[in-house]
Structure 1
Amino acid sequence: MDASWMVKYVSEFLGTMFLVLLGNGAVAAVTLKGSKNKGAGGLAAAWGFGIGIMMPVLVFANVSGGQINPAITLGMASAGLFPWAHVAQYILAQILGAIVGQLLVVLIYKEYFVKTNDGAVTLGAFATTSALEEPQRHGRAVLNGFVNEAIGTFVFVFGILGFTTNFFGAESIKWYAKYAASQGQSTSGSDFTSAAWASISGASASKMVGALAIGILFVGLMITFGGATNTALNPARDLGPRIVHSFLPKSVLGENKSDSKWWYAWVPVVAPIVGGVLAALLFKLIFKN
């Protein structure tokens, strides 16, 4: 789809909003006091995030790329797969989308936040923290969280690039471009793209398989890495909701609202970027020479 950059920015905003709404909405549903789904466990929350990623990818992949993650945007730009001129706008749209998505979660679960008498549980429906946290001793928590987020995001971004290259038909389009050029046909513009997809058997199904694979991959990552930090793997998904948590009053989040743990907040922002950039660079080194 040949969309304007403004439409792409809006797509990234909406995609990240859906991700946070479905992901943190699932966390709220399984952890907050009074919720009918309370106790459903981490697997239910993992599926919330998996579906929260799969849905925007299916809807927006052909518009903005469905990146919905600054680590992906920066990783792709570092590897020369996305223009640097639009990185800041994408990231701003993603963070704003995460803030609005979290506000929607609060709108739905406000009464349940008020009922919940554990500030850590409340914060967990917004942002990530480390299971190793100790009062006045944050070193182990920071180190473990950084390693967890960096490795998890590396796997996530590397997997996404692999899925989208193979299942989204990128390699098939390259083959079709060579074929069209050999026949003296134009290989630029939306007409070529449409003809390319039409020529590839099962292209639409392949895109759906790719989006499904990305969603399932994230479910697996939440299960694997979630025990240590709840796992962000996405700076916007953590930073945006944490900002919301910091400014909402106790009248909304309950008298036991804790601090927003800003001492830890840089970890799920910086570590996923490191992992995402390394994954994109390695992928390009292996597959894009």
Structure 2
Amino acid sequence: MSSHDIFLGETIGTAMLILLGGGVVAAVTLKRSKAQNAGWLAITFGWGFAVLTGAYTAGGVSGAHLNPAVTIGLAIEGGTKWSDVPLYLGSQMLGAMIGAALVWVTYYGQFHAHLTDQAVLEAHQHNGEEGLVDPKAAPKAGPVLGIFSTGPEIRNPVQNLLTEIIATVVLVLAILTQGLNDNGNGIGVLGALITALVVVGIGLSLGGPTGYAINPARDLGPRIVHALLPLPNKGGSDWSYAWIPVVGPLIGGALAGLIYKLF
């Protein structure tokens, strides 16, 4: 496949992945969303469908890696040329940032209501005027970083890193053993469905500790967008944690490629 195919397929496919994946988290999280509080099952299945849509969109163009960990695993396994790896990774990062920005555009009103209503409530409480605002009408919102990127429930760098490594090994091994197309350089038609189901399974089984990034572009690109967007009262972007959902999946993807190649 040409460099043009790789760039277009990975950019558009990853943007689709993040738009739908980040979109389901926004739908569950933000005030005045019809899906608010739909829960973890909605998020895990939403991310699975996001993978399915992104993979089918890009599969016939670029092989639908959509994930630097998958690209690294395929390069070690031999299905992807190392010379193509930088283009894959750059396109995935660009697509992830575009998808995250589109989530903000789609939920613009909900972001505004979620963040500004909470600011009004906190200001009244700070001034001892709790009675002027009904807490039920303006429930505690919290930061919105989780819509864009992942974070740990218990902040333990070693455990968090190992969790991301283990979950990514599961994902990339499943792709290498069951998900590849006939050329071996990307995800096939049946492989896209298998991969989507594996992502749902990872979310349900292994997603509790860290939110299962399992994809460096999926986490880092939207985290950058969160830092840049003009969102009031949005909270910090948690850069002290940001290396874990990048390094962990890259190690996991490399390990999966080595395991497949050796055994």
The alignment's TM-score, normalised by the length of structure 1, stands at: 0.78
Q: Secondary structure at the match of 1:233?
A: coil
2:251 to 259, 274, 287: 274
* Match of residue 259 from structure 1: 236
2:215 paired with 1:238: no
Question: CA offset at residue 76 of structure 1?
Answer: 1.5
The equivalent residue for 2:162 is 147
The answer to whether the Cα contact below 8 Å between 2:150 and 2:210 also exists between their aligned partners in 1 is yes
Following superposition of structure 1 onto structure 2, how do residues 40-79 of structure 1 map, counting pairs within 5 Å? 40-79=38-77
**Residue pairs, 1:91-102, within 5 angstroms:** 91-102=89-100
Contact 1:28–1:109 (CA<8 Å) still a contact in 2?
Answer: yes
Match of 2:229 in 1: 248
Shift of 1:215: 0.5
Secondary structure of the 2:60 match is: coil
State which of 266, 283, 289 in structure 1 corresponds to 2:260.
283
1:105-127: CA deviation from partner (whole Å, max 9, x where unpaired): 00011221222236754110000
Q: Which amino acid aligns with 2:73?
A: G
Flag the 1:119–1:248 CA change in 2: closer, same or farther, 3 A: farther
Residue 74 of structure 2 contacts residue 176 of structure 2 at CA under 8 Å; is this kept in 1? no
Q: How does 1:1-289 map to 2 (within 5 A)?
A: 3-116=1-114, 117=118, 120-133=142-155, 140=156, 142-165=157-180, 168-169=181-182, 207-249=188-230, 253-255=231-233, 257-286=234-263
Report how many residues are paired. Answer: 237
Aligned match of 1:186: none
Deviation at 1:92, TM superposition (A): 0.5
What is the percentage of aligned positions where both structures have the same residue? 41
Q: Which residues of structure 1 form unaligned runs of 5+?
A: 134-139, 172-205
Offset at 1:60?
2.1
Unmatched segments (≥5 aa) in structure 2: 119-139
Q: Which has the larger radius of gyration?
A: 1
Distance 1:92 1:170 in 2: 23
SS in 2 for 1:282: helix
Preserved CA contact (<8 Å) 2:59 2:189: no
Hey, what's the Cα distance between the residues in 2 that align with 1:248 and 1:119? 18
2:144 alignment partner AA: T
The question of whether the paired residues in 2 share the 8 Å contact of 1:31 and 1:121 is answered with no
Distance 1:228 1:71 in 2: 20
SS of 2:61 mapped into structure 1: coil
Contact persistence 1:115–1:254 (CA under 8 A): no
Change (3 A) 1:278 1:237: same
Counterpart Cα distance in 2 of 1:10 and 1:170: 19
Superposition deviation, residue 80 in structure 1 = 2.6
Alpha-carbon distance in structure 1 between the residues aligned to 2:15 and 2:81: 23
Once superposed, what is the RMSD of the aligned Cα atoms?
1.8
Q: Distance in 2 between matches of 1:241 and 1:145?
A: 19
CA distance in 2, matches of 1:30, 1:236: 22
Return 57-66 or 106-115, whichever deviates more: 57-66
Mapped to 1, the partners of 2:84 and 2:142 lie a distance apart of: 36
